[in-house]
Structure 1
């Protein structure tokens, strides 16, 4: 059955049936009114709401022959939930804009909803509503909301000379997986699956805020590009230390087989959604946070004191194909 056969309201009914508000982690308390009315009602106990939006386009961000619908659902949710975590906030709700060709199988939409709901449940958030529309291409727009829990947001603009730079999560895995799939291969599975479903260190965002992080960002377009946003917003120079980045065996072996420098995946590859933050120099890092560099006076980003010139620093939708 296609979405044209089930109709708009039949599709909505099928999808919302799979988006039951989870009772764990307080998601049921955050959502006061879920799907089914003109709008949802979400609790905002802090009085401020953190909000972000991300768009996924078939052929640009995902391919149905590379990823299952459930994979795409996880990925769409993760891209937005990571941005909320990067502000030091707790994600509470997701809204979906689902633009689809009429011949899309209904089963694909249902499994996509399963992936969205499962990823949201990892942080105690819920999918509270959205919209559907017929479209020539499959395009998914997701908006995420979050709660600061009475903390100040951690922006990109607070890094200071003398701060340390730290990372939580992993880098290069999704970029390696993308390269492997692009070359027509399907293994190693750990790297391919990292492209299909990122593993985001959600809890590290709140921990960073509690530890006194001065700036933070989600690495979605490439480490050098995204850390460059912190450097530009804060008016500082950031120097990363290559020796502080672990090169997993699967990545090293795959890079050797494909003739790729694995550090290009680590420094310029995106979609892993690691978190990078700057902290006062006397902070005691905890959890997944590990030191990877230092903040200095000046501008721009370097690796071991040298500007990166081997390739673009990261992804730019309007400059790259």
Structure 2
């Protein structure tokens, strides 16, 4: 649990050209803690052996994720604040995908000793800012020296008295719906990997996902039968729902409009934009199934249907594009 102290007279030293090795562990902790806010569920934050987080529901939803430099982010592509936003979003989205509201984050940080303290501070600022979007806060964590910059985040959430919405509840006849956008982050990644920095809307979507957090609890209240965070690609993640629910899922290609800037980028780069839309990850949209005839909450749109069978198809045919993200493929 982070419990560093500020420097003399309560002042935190400046961070210009100061490495983590020079600042030391507790100097770095003090700087990071100074950048963190608090949330309504945070009864006790950084400074003791553990945090104390309220759980009004009596149950706690928990999820964890890890970002490794060179695998999940590059410092020449994204600012420290961008990385902080992405690290928080990946976990907060998982909480929303259970139909819960996020309450707190715990962060473990493994950093090279020559990393600038200012970078770590800005990372903390990004983590705190993203958590603040949903009224959550970073309540503590741990850190270690490491040759590889690694950020591990654990998110906690509260169900508000509702049952969790699982992947295993989809039934034949259900509507498949989507909240949020897909394809933007994958398109931004492709643009960056080809050495470009525009279109800005795509690059910024890769750097900082726009997650529809509120739509998770909204789907739960509207009677969603299953729910999932689209982190690895829509078709791949819907495949998890199909497997868990023992059903087949069909997605309609015409349910996805290709934005002009995405279409232009795809044309310039020689990519089918539907590969981004259907198989690209990192936007953290939410996909859900709802009973037949259900009125979808505002912010959700129908994209397909559930049927008896197995697997995921597009327009009732096997998808021939990429399957989605796999860390070991």
Structure 1 residue 18: Cα displacement: 0.7
Matched, 1:198 2:215: no
Give the 3-state SS of the residue equivalent to 1:14 in structure 2: helix
Gaps of 5+ in 2: 1-17
Regions of 4+ moved over 4 Å:
none
User: 1:38 aligns to what SS in structure 2?
Assistant: coil
Q: TM-score, normalised by structure 2?
A: 0.94
Shift of 1:282: 1.8
Alpha-carbon shift at residue 253 of structure 1 (Å): 0.5
Q: TM-score, normalised by structure 1?
A: 0.97
2:271 pairs with 1:260:
yes
Match of 2:327 in 1: 317
**Do structure 1's residue 150 and structure 2's residue 149 form an aligned pair?**
no
How is 1:226-265 mapped onto 2 (pairs within 5 angstroms)?
A: 226-265=237-276
Of 188, 204, 212, the match for 1:177: 188
2:12 counterpart residue number: none
Match of 1:291 in 2: 302
What are the superposed Cα offsets for residues 27-80 of structure 1, whole Å, 9 maximum, x if unpaired?
A: 23x111000100000001111100000000000000000000000000000000
**Secondary structure at the counterpart of residue 202 of structure 1:** coil
Shift of 1:286: 2.0
- Give the CA deviation at 1:11: 0.4
Partner of residue 2 from structure 1, selected from 11, 16, 19: 19
| 1:205-216 aligned within 5 A | 205-216=216-227
1:85 to 96, 101, 121: 96
Pairing partner for 2:29 from 12, 17, 20: 12
Give, in whole Å, the separation in 2 of the partners of 1:310 and 1:266. Answer: 11
Q: What SS class does the counterpart of residue 36 from structure 2 fall into?
A: coil
Number of residue pairs matched by the alignment: 312
Q: Kindly state the Cα deviation for residue 105 of structure 1 after the two structures are TM-superposed.
A: 0.2
CA shift for structure 1 position 256: 0.3
Distance 2:297 2:162 in 1: 19
Match of 1:114 in 2: 125
Give a deviation string over 1:130-156, Cα, whole Å, max 9, x none: 001000100000000000011000010
For 1:148 and 1:286, the matched residues in 2 are separated by 18
Question: Is 1:304 matched up with 2:321?
Answer: no
* Structure 1 residue matching 2:302: 3-state secondary structure: strand
Q: From 78, 82, 95, give the equivalent of 1:67.
A: 78
2: CA distance, partners of 1:304 / 1:131: 48
Q: Counterparts of 2:235 and 2:86 in 1: how far apart (Å)? A: 22
Secondary structure of the residue aligned to 2:98 is: coil
Q: Describe the superposition over 1:87-129 as per-residue Cα deviations: whole angstroms up to 9, x where unpaired.
A: 0000000000000000000000000011001000000000000
Match of residue 166 from structure 1: 177
1:40 aligns with 2:51: yes
Shift of 1:287: 1.7
